[in-house]
A = this chain, B = another copy of it.
Amino acid sequence: MKSDLILLGHGSGGKLSHQLLDEIIIPTLSGISQKNQNDAAVLPFSGDRLAFTTDSYVVDPVFFPGGNIGDLAINGTVNDLVMSGARPLAISVGLILEEGLSIKELRFIVESMRDAALAANVSIVTGDTKVVTRGAADKIFINTSGIGVFEHSLKIEGNRAKPGDKVIINGTIGDHGIAVLASREGLELGVDILSDSAPLNGLVLDAIEKYGEHIHALRDPTRGGVATTLKEIALQSGIDIELEEATLPVRESVEGACSILGLDPLYVANEGKVLFVVDGGMADDILHLLRQHPFGREAAIIGQVVQAQKSEGRVSLHTAIGGRRIVDMLSGEQLPRIC
C-alpha cells in the first residue's frame, strides 16, 4: 500500500479500492482473488445453490431526490443477489444510529425499507440495532445482507464474457450519483435529477427465464460507474470491450450537470442499472424484452466484446466525434458516500 492511512479513495470502487481489497482484505479474509469476485457469493447448500451478499450504506445526505438510505439499502442488496442470477429470498438489516437522530426520520427510513422490500418481494427476517454517541457516526448507516435462491442451473459470472458478445444497459447512466451530489452540495441545476434507485429482480429474472443461456455476465454499475464495472468484467474475462459513446443513454440534465462539475457520466454511480453481456446474435431480442419492462424502457446496446489486444482487458470508447479513448478504472475518489 502506498499510503499508511485509509483515504477516501479507498472507498471509491475504483483503483484504490481494488488495491485495498487485493493487498489486504481479500488475501487475508477469503482467499478468493478479485478476479473471481462477483456481486454475491454462491454457496452449495443442501444439494442446491444459495447466493449470499452484503453491503453497507453510508450515503450522504440520507434523503435525496428519488430515494433515501432505506430504500437504497434494500434495492442495492436485492440487485447484488439478482446479478448472480438468484432470486432474492431474505434480507437482514443492521442499523447503526447516531445519538440524536430524529425518531421521525428513522421511522420514515424504516418505512421506506419495508416498502422497498414489498416491491422487491423479499422478506426482512433478522436485524440488529446499535446506537453510538453523537459525533461517532453520521446520522445512520445501514447494512443489508441477503440470501437468494437459484431457479436454474446457469452460471452467470463476470469471467464469462466472450468476443462477439454485446453489452446492454437498461437505461440512462449517472442519475443516482448526480442526484445525491446535487442534493449534498445544494447545487441549483435548474432541473430535478432523481436517483434511479430501483429493484431489478423483475427485469433481470424475466430476462434470465427467457434468455438465460445467452446471458454471460450481469453486473450493476454502482460505485465507479459503468466504466469501472466494465473494466472489472474485461479483466475477469480477459477480453476487451469497445463502447460507442453515441449509444450511451445519458439524460440531458445529467450530461449538463456532469460538464458543470467536471465529471464523466461513465464513472458516476447508478442504483437501478444493470449491464448485460450477452450473445451478440441474441442482443436485439434481449433488448426488445428489456424495453417492455418499466425499468428497461430506455435500454440500449452500448458496446461489444472483442478479442483482447493485450493481456490486461482493455475498455475503450469510440467517441461521438470519431476519436477513441481508453476507459480505465477510477483512480481516486470521485464521489465519496454515494451509496
Contacts and interface: CB of A to CB of B under 8 A. Distances in A.
Contacts of A90: 41, 43, 52
Given A3-B103, A46-B47, A103-B6, A130 B58 contact: yes
Interface stretch (A135-143, A229-237, A242-250, A288-296): A135-143
A287 B94 CA distance: 35
Interface residues of A, number: 81
B92 A145 contact: yes
A326 interface: no
B43 A46 contact: no
A316 interface: no
Contacts of A54: 92-94, 126-128, 143, 145
A263 interface: no
When all copies of this chain in the complex are counted, the total is 2
Nearest to A137: B137
Interface string A120-154: 00011111111111011110010101010100000
B10 A131 contact: yes
A137 B133 contact: no
Contacts of A46: 45-48, 50, 149
Given A52-B147, A132-B138, A337-B133, A6 B100 contact: yes
Contact of A129 (B1, B3, B25, B128): B25
Given A20-B129, A24-B103, 4 more contacts: A30-B125, A30-B127, A54-B127, A136-B138
A119 interface: no
Contact of A25 (B127, B133, B149, B333): B127
Nearest to A128: B55
10 contacts: A5-B100, A6-B99, A11-B132, A17-B129, A21-B129, A45-B149, A46-B50, A53-B126, A132-B336, A143-B145
Contacts of A50: 45-46, 50, 147
Interface stretch (A104-112, A204-212, A253-261): A104-112
Contact of A336 (B106, B129, B131, B333): B131
A101 interface: yes
